[in-house]
């Protein structure tokens, strides 16, 4: 190496022969100070000139010359020495570069630094966003500690020179940023909730005032009862403040109602009842009339279910109570009058049946000339008497039946009955009148129709009522269709005619007692308007139904359903 050769250059990089170590902020060399002053041998230049230092001592060695002006010093503070000569520092750097004892950050390390920053920011941000703030702070400190340990481990295990300041700073930045955002958002939500609560309270107060209800709120922890002005007015309390001891309420409850009120309140507070509801009377005063209060409330509970407070309302139901009492009295009176009417009708019907039967019997004897011949006109009169007597007897029987039904004295004796037999028997009874009017009665019973469970006399009465109405309202020459089919576990029997029909607004009313509907019968036959009412009541007593479908000038179909006989009784058909 010549005298003018530059061995070491220091600037943006340190160059020593073929070795170049960059010193910029991203890949700066790490200088490792190995010890205090004297770790590397130093000599005074004066000793060399004076011959006190043999020249052979420096032969083959790289020598650094340090020049310092008189009265000045050229030192640097290090971890091992507060005044390390700079010449010794350069000598150490020279020695480390020759030994290859330095670190250089490459591009991969920069990329890892960026990825660590992003990951730390994301993790800490998520923690701070969803974890309570105190716990989030502890977790952020834990993340910072893990970063320090991780950087040391990466350096020891893989020789990766990672920045530790950046990730730790990111922990603090993420924590502060997300926490501030949460606090701002929480404050906005709090203000919004307060606004909604204020509006709700105003709305509820207005509603309570409009409903004329008293509002109460019982703080069970503080044992204080907060009430509204209306509450005080209802309970007869002088409003000296909006909060009272709870006994103010219970002391004003009627003695006969206090125990029930307290029991229902305890039941709700203990969790055995979903809501609190009780009616009680206020203790009467010198100038106070009896007053009934409906108390309602709902408890607020903690996580364990313990009631902390209960709030609700008072409603004055005095008028409702009085109206209910009046209604009960009127109902009892109406039921009594109805029973009296039914008993009167039943008694009168029995009284009328005896002379009617005698009249019918004597008219039949005269019409048949049992005791001897009579004149033609007398025989005709006897026939009219017999026909009118039978008609009147039918009316009396209907009145007797409806009175029994209304009085609840209908007795049924259900037995298994063959549907086909019952239908043909009843059709035979009206066949004569139908043939006289030119009507065709067609019976169609589904095969293998099971028996029904019914009272034989009452089922015949139901079917005869339906068939008689069909004959009465059919046009001459029309067809009356009678069908029976199985519908699930029931027998469905329908009677259809081609008569005048029923107006839609009259269909629901034709089953009311004594209501015959608007219109006329085709065949000039009249009745009491009890037939369908009796039929419907009797079929409902059999756990069946009656349905009417009709169109004006087209015809009417009346359908009844009646339960089939159980399998065990079907073989015992009457």
Confidence of residue 560 (pLDDT cuts 50, 70, 90): very high
pLDDT digit string, tens, across residues 118-129: 888 888 888 888
Task: Transcribe 150-187 into DSSP letters.
Answer: HHHHHHHHH-----SHHHHHHHHHHHHHHHHHHHHHHH
Judge contact between 237 and 214, C-beta under 8 A.
no
Same domain, 257 and 359: no
Give the CATH number, domain containing residue 299: 3.30.450.20
Q: Does a structural domain hold residue 193?
A: no
Going by C-alpha positions, the residue among 543, 561, 542, 567 that lies closest to residue 414 is 542
Task: Choose the most confident range, by mean pLDDT, from 57-61, 206-210, 407-411, 432-436.
Answer: 432-436
Mean pLDDT (whole number) for 177-196: 85
Q: Output the average pLDDT for the chain.
A: 82
| Cα 149 versus chain centre, distance | 53
Residue 303's pLDDT is what?
83
149 backbone dihedrals φ, ψ, rounded to 5° = -65, -40
Measured CA to CA, the distance from residue 221 to residue 241 in angstroms comes to 19
Crossing angle of helices 133-158 and 107-130, in 10° steps, is 160
Q: Does a structural domain hold residue 391?
A: yes
Q: Does a structural domain hold residue 516?
A: yes
Tokens of 255: 């003695």
Residue 2's pLDDT is what?
46
Judge contact between 179 and 132, C-beta under 8 A.
no
Q: Among the three residues 81, 99, 117, which one is the final residue of a domain in this structure?
A: 99
Q: Does a structural domain hold residue 202?
A: no
The percent of residues in the chain predicted with pLDDT above 90, rounded, is 23
Which structural domain, as residue segments, surrounds residue 90? 8-99
Same domain, 559 and 446: yes
- pLDDT at residue 359 greater than cutoff 50: yes
Across 152-166, 200-214, 236-250, 500-514, least confident range: 200-214
Tokens of 150: 């991780």
Confidence of residue 60 (pLDDT cuts 50, 70, 90): confident
Residue 419's pLDDT is what?
93
Q: Does a structural domain hold residue 362?
A: yes
Same domain, 172 and 297: no
Give the CATH number, domain containing residue 394: 1.10.287
Q: Does a structural domain hold residue 81?
A: yes
Same domain, 262 and 308: yes
Across 210-219, 480-489, 496-505, least confident range: 210-219
Q: Among the three residues 66, 99, 132, which one is the final residue of a domain in this structure?
A: 99
Mean pLDDT (whole number) for 429-449: 90
Same domain, 39 and 68: yes
Measured CA to CA, the distance from residue 486 to residue 555 in angstroms comes to 24
Same domain, 437 and 533: yes
Cβ neighbours, 10 Å, residue 224? 15
Same domain, 401 and 421: no
Residue 9's pLDDT is what?
62
Give the CATH number, domain containing residue 536: 3.30.565.10
Same domain, 310 and 334: no
Q: Does a structural domain hold residue 384?
A: yes
CA dihedral for 521, 526, 529, 530, sign (positive or negative): negative
Same domain, 541 and 444: yes
Q: Does a structural domain hold residue 220?
A: yes
Same domain, 419 and 537: yes
Q: Among the three residues 292, 316, 340, which one is the final residue of a domain in this structure?
A: 316
Mean pLDDT (whole number) for 265-277: 93
Structural domain total, the chain: 5
Same domain, 113 and 94: no
Residue 71's pLDDT is what?
65
Same domain, 416 and 556: yes
Confidence of residue 516 (pLDDT cuts 50, 70, 90): low
Measured CA to CA, the distance from residue 420 to residue 447 in angstroms comes to 10
Residue 79's pLDDT is what?
64
Judge contact between 182 and 188, C-beta under 8 A.
no
């Amino acid at each position: 190496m010549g005298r003018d050769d530059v061995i070491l250059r220091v600037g943006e990089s340190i160059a020593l022969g073929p070795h170049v170590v960059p010193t910029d902020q991203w890949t700066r060399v790490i200088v490792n100070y190995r010890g205090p002053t004297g770790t590397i041998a130093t000599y005074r230049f004066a000793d060399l000139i004076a011959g006190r230092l043999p020249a052979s001592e420096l032969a083959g060695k790289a020598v650094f010359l340090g020049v310092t002006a008189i009265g000045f010093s050229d030192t640097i503070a290090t971890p091992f020495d507060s005044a390390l000569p700079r010449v010794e520092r350069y000598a150490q750097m020279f020695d480390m570069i020759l030994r290859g004892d330095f670190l250089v950050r490459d591009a991969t390390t920069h990329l890892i630094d960026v990825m660590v920053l992003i990951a730390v920011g994301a993790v800490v941000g998520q923690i701070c966003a969803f974890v309570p703030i105190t716990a989030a702070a502890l977790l952020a400190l834990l993340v910072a500690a893990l970063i320090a340990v991780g950087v040391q481990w990466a350096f020891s295990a893989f020789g990766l020179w990672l920045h530790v300041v950046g990730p730790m700073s990111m922990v603090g930045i993420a924590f502060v940023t997300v926490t501030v955002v949460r606090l701002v958002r929480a404050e906005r939500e709090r203000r919004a909730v307060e606004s909604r609560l204020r509006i709700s309270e105003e709305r509820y107060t207005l509603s309570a005032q409009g409903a004329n209800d008293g509002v109460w709120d019982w703080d069970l922890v503080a044992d204080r009862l907060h009430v509204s002005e209306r509450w005080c007015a209802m309970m007869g309390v002088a409003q000296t403040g909006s909060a009272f001891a709870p006994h103010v309420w219970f002391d004003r409850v009627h003695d006969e109602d206090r125990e029930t009120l307290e029991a229902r309140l305890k039941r709700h507070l203990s969790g055995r009842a979903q809501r609190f509801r009780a009616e009680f009377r206020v203790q009467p005063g010198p100038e106070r009339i009896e007053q009934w209060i409906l108390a309602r409330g709902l408890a607020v509970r903690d996580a364990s279910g313990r009631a902390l407070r209960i709030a609700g309302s008072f409603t004055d139901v005095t008028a409702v109570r009085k109206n209910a009492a009046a209604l009960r009295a009127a109902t009892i009176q109406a039921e009594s009058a109805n029973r009296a009417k039914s008993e009167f009708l039943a008694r009168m019907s029995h009284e009328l049946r005896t002379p009617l039967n005698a009249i019918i019997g004597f008219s039949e004897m005269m019409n048949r000339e049992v005791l001897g011949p009579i004149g033609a006109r007398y025989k005709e009169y006897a026939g009219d008497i017999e026909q009118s007597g039978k008609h009147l007897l039918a009316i009396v029987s209907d009145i007797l039946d409806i009175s029994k039904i209304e009085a609840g004295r209908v007795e049924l004796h259900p037995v298994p009955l063959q549907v086909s037999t019952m239908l043909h028997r009843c059709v035979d009874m009206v066949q004569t009148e139908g043939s006289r009017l030119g009507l065709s009665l067609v019976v169609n019973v589904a095969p293998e129709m099971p028996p029904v469970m019914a009272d034989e006399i009452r089922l015949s009465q139901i079917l005869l009522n339906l068939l008689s109405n069909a004959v009465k309202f059919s046009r001459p020459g029309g067809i009356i269709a009678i069908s029976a089919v199985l519908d699930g576990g029931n027998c469905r029997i329908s009677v259809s005619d081609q008569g005048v029909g029923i107006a839609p607004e009259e269909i629901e009313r034709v089953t009311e007692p004594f209501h015959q509907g608007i219109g006329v019968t085709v065949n000039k036959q009249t009745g009491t308007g009890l037939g369908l009412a009796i039929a419907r009541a009797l079929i409902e007593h059999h756990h069946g139904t009656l349905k009417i479908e009709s169109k004006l000038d087209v015809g009417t179909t009346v359908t009844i359903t009646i339960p089939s006989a159980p399998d065990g009784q079907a073989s015992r058909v009457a």
